[in-house]
C-alpha cells in the first residue's frame, strides 16, 4: 500500500487497533461532506454473520455512537465500532480502492483465516 495508515484505536484493556489509510480517510471525508443534509456524522465499522466465508464487513454512517461503542476521532473523522465487532477487527487496515473493475473499502484483516474471492467476507 502506498498510503501510510493512521491510528484508529489505541491498544488497551478494552480497546483495539484499526488503521485507515490516507485514501480511506479522504473517501470518508468526501462521503460525510456529501451527506450534509443528513444527520450522519460518524463512520461505523463492524462485522456480522453471513457472506461466503462466514462473516461480512459493515461500513455505514451513523449520527452518533451508542453507549457501548468504541469511538475515536482520527484526522477529523469520528469512527465507531461495537464491542463484538472490535474483537474481529483488531489489527485491521482499511483502505479504499477506485479501479475500473472495483470500487470500495478494502479490509486487510490479520484475524481472517480465509477470505472469499470477492473480498467482502471472511472466516475466523
Is residue 6 a part of any domain in this protein? no
Q: Is the pLDDT of residue 9 over 70?
A: no
Q: Is residue 13 part of a domain?
A: no
- Residue 5 lies inside a defined structural domain of this protein: no
Quote the number of domains for the chain.
Answer: 1
pTM (predicted TM-score)? 0.78
Please indicate, yes or no, if residue 8 is contained in any of the structural domains.
Answer: no
Mean pLDDT of 35-62: 83
Within a domain: residue 116? yes
Q: Has residue 4 been placed in a domain?
A: no
Whether residue 45 is contained in a domain is answered as yes
Q: Give 53 or 30, the one with higher predicted confidence.
A: 30
Is 50 exceeded by the pLDDT of residue 120? yes
Q: What is the mean pLDDT of residues 92-109?
A: 90
Q: What was the pLDDT predicted at 16? A: 59
77-81 vs 42-49, strand pairing mode? parallel
Residues in a beta bridge with 81: 70
Give the bridge partners for 57, in sequence order: 47
Rounded-to-integer distance, Cα 1 and Cα 118, Å: 19
Position 117 scores a pLDDT of 67
pLDDT in tens, 68-96: 998 877 777 788 899 989 888 888 889 99
Is residue 80 one of the residues assigned to a domain? yes
Asked if the model's pLDDT at residue 3 lies above 90, the reply is no
Listed range (1-5, 63-67, 80-84, 116-120) with the worst mean pLDDT:
1-5
Alpha carbons 38 and 7: distance in angstroms, whole number = 27
Q: Which domain holds residue 81?
A: 18-123
List the CATH number of the domain containing 53. 2.60.300.12
Amino acid at each position: 500500500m502506498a498510503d501510510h495508515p493512521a491510528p484508529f484505536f489505541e491498544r488497551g484493556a478494552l480497546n483495539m487497533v484499526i488503521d485507515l489509510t490516507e485514501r480511506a480517510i479522504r473517501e470518508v471525508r468526501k462521503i460525510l461532506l456529501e451527506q450534509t443534509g443528513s444527520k450522519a456524522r460518524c463512520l461505523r465499522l463492524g462485522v456480522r454473520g453471513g457472506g461466503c466465508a462466514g462473516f461480512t464487513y459493515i461500513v455505514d454512517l451513523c449520527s452518533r455512537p451508542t453507549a457501548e461503542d468504541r469511538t475515536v476521532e482520527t484526522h477529523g473523522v469520528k469512527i465507531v465500532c461495537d464491542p463484538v465487532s472490535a474483537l474481529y477487527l483488531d489489527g485491521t487496515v482499511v483502505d479504499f480502492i477506485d479501479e475500473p473493475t472495483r470500487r470500495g473499502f478494502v479490509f486487510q484483516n490479520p484475524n481472517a483465516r480465509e477470505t472469499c474471492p470477492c473480498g467482502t467476507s471472511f472466516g475466523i
